[in-house]
Amino acid sequence: MTGKLVLTLAIFFCIDSSVQCYVGVGNDPLTRHIRSRRSKPSFSYVTEGDLDGVEYSPVYIGSQKGLKEANKIVALPGQPDGIDFDQYSGYVTVDQKASRALFYWLVESQNSSSKPLVLWLNGGPGCSSVGNGAFTELGPFRVNSDRKTLWRNPYAWNNAANMLFLESPAGVGFSYSNTSSDYHTGDKKTAKDSYTFLVNWLERFPEYKTRDFFITGESYAGHYVPQLAQLILKNNKITNQTVINLKGISIGNAYVDIETQNRGTNDFIWSHALISDEIYHGVISNCNFSSRYYSSDACAKFQNQADAVQGKIDPYNIYAPVCLSSSQPPPSRPDQFDPCINYYISDYLNTPAVQHAFHVNITGSLPGPWASCSDPIFENWQDEPDSVLEVIKKLTTSGIRVWLYSGDADAVVAVTTTKYAIQKMKFSVKTPWYPWYDHGEVGGYVVGYEKNFTFVTIRGTGHFVPSYQPVRALTMFTSFLEGKLPPSS
């Protein structure tokens, strides 16, 4: 149902641009992915615990000599003055034979040595963590409408941590492989490559080896984050290479379970007055949410109606303005989020001087242009489990902190989908539901469960939580790092 929704809207908005198909609608093709799953019965699924069964062998480690210094960013073109933190970016080869390399951008904190290291992963599958997470959500800079200069985001997450943005898997953003078959990838290879990346990256930045380490992400990273955490904890027990000091994970509007995803979406779009009662009941009585594929023509008919009647809204934040044209003037207040920002980012990141400053495409031989999300990656996705809830449950028994947070105006991975997924995991409540506060206002709601598992909502924002609520998002993130529930007053 949701797949069709985004497809319809994407066509609507993309008529004048073949490059940026998610502009103004959001920039995560997750719902297209869900739809493509339904029409691809030959899709190969892995079962929960599959990564557990993978034999351990030491990962490839390349020489990192001199690379940290070479990766230092002097300044990004158009960057404002007075930047008081260091930035590094470049490639880490994760497979020498295939020539496969992942691109990272490290944005250190002002007082770097006293702060933890946090990995950030966007979803898709196929979406860039630099172009999306860093430049539209929680990174230190936003691109101005001139597409050339940057302004500083005062609520960037590097206020609280050293932020490591990883473009994953190869084929996403600036990450690439010289072996084209690598672009037929999936959950398993993504987890393994991300692990190899981390082991190598820590050789390049050995000062971070013993630092507290957290993995964060959103959307389809609801698959990436728990599976990478599982692989790290498993390898930590047997490796003779670097032990990764993983302390916790946190995922926003997380895509974690196909059944609760479909059920929760239908309930959200109905209760938020986006579809009629007739369509809602038509879906309920004709669709089997436990089934992977459309269970009947009647189900498909009502789902198509549900897609159509919602109209031209941004499903990733149902109350937000949309980008009606790439030349629409920016919002009058500079602190208001600009729904056309993806156009500016795309132009900025496709500028040769910007790519040089980031240490990419120096010779101009990297096939381009850079894109916010990669269609070939998500269209050729090879494996994923129907659910990662068992992986998440297992992580909570290993002593690490696990948070699921949710922007409450997202209709794509709606807050209801997360609540139903948590019900399915059957944790017992330790701290009952309460409103948390930020600057005197309710920032959202929180429930603390046993085993350091926490559910937090962020009020008045969508799928891309920090874009529309940067202050609340930073408060939530700081609480997560400190291992405290968000403030009750």
Ligand X SMILES: *[C@@H]1O[C@H](CO)[C@@H](O)[C@H](O)[C@H]1NC(C)=O
The site for ligand X (CB under 6 A) is made up of: 58, 93, 99, 101, 111, 114, 178, 240, 288, 290-291, 350, 352, 361, 364, 366, 368-370, 399, 401, 451-452, 483
**Residue number of the CB atom closest to ligand X:** 368
Cβ atoms of residues 372 and 345 within 8 Å: yes
Cβ atoms of residues 421 and 257 within 8 Å: yes
- Give 320 or 421: the residue with its C-beta nearer to ligand X: 421
In the complex, minimum distance from the CB of residue 60 to ligand X, in angstroms, rounded to a whole number:
11
In the complex, minimum distance from the CB of residue 309 to ligand X, in angstroms, rounded to a whole number:
26
Cα–Cα distance measured from residue 84 to residue 77, given in angstroms and rounded to the nearest whole number? 16
441 to 145, 353, 435, 487, 488: CA distances (angstroms): 31, 43, 9, 11, 10
Cα–Cα distance measured from residue 287 to residue 175, given in angstroms and rounded to the nearest whole number? 39
Residues annotated as catalytic are 219, 410, 463
In the complex, minimum distance from the CB of residue 282 to ligand X, in angstroms, rounded to a whole number:
16
- Give 262 or 317: the residue with its C-beta nearer to ligand X: 262
- Give 182 or 338: the residue with its C-beta nearer to ligand X: 182
Show the tokens assigned to 403. Answer: 């948070």
- Give 76 or 274: the residue with its C-beta nearer to ligand X: 76
- Give 128 or 467: the residue with its C-beta nearer to ligand X: 128
In the complex, minimum distance from the CB of residue 324 to ligand X, in angstroms, rounded to a whole number:
27
Cα–Cα distance measured from residue 434 to residue 445, given in angstroms and rounded to the nearest whole number? 6
- Give 194 or 361: the residue with its C-beta nearer to ligand X: 361
Cβ atoms of residues 342 and 89 within 8 Å: no
In the complex, minimum distance from the CB of residue 366 to ligand X, in angstroms, rounded to a whole number:
4
In the complex, minimum distance from the CB of residue 361 to ligand X, in angstroms, rounded to a whole number:
4
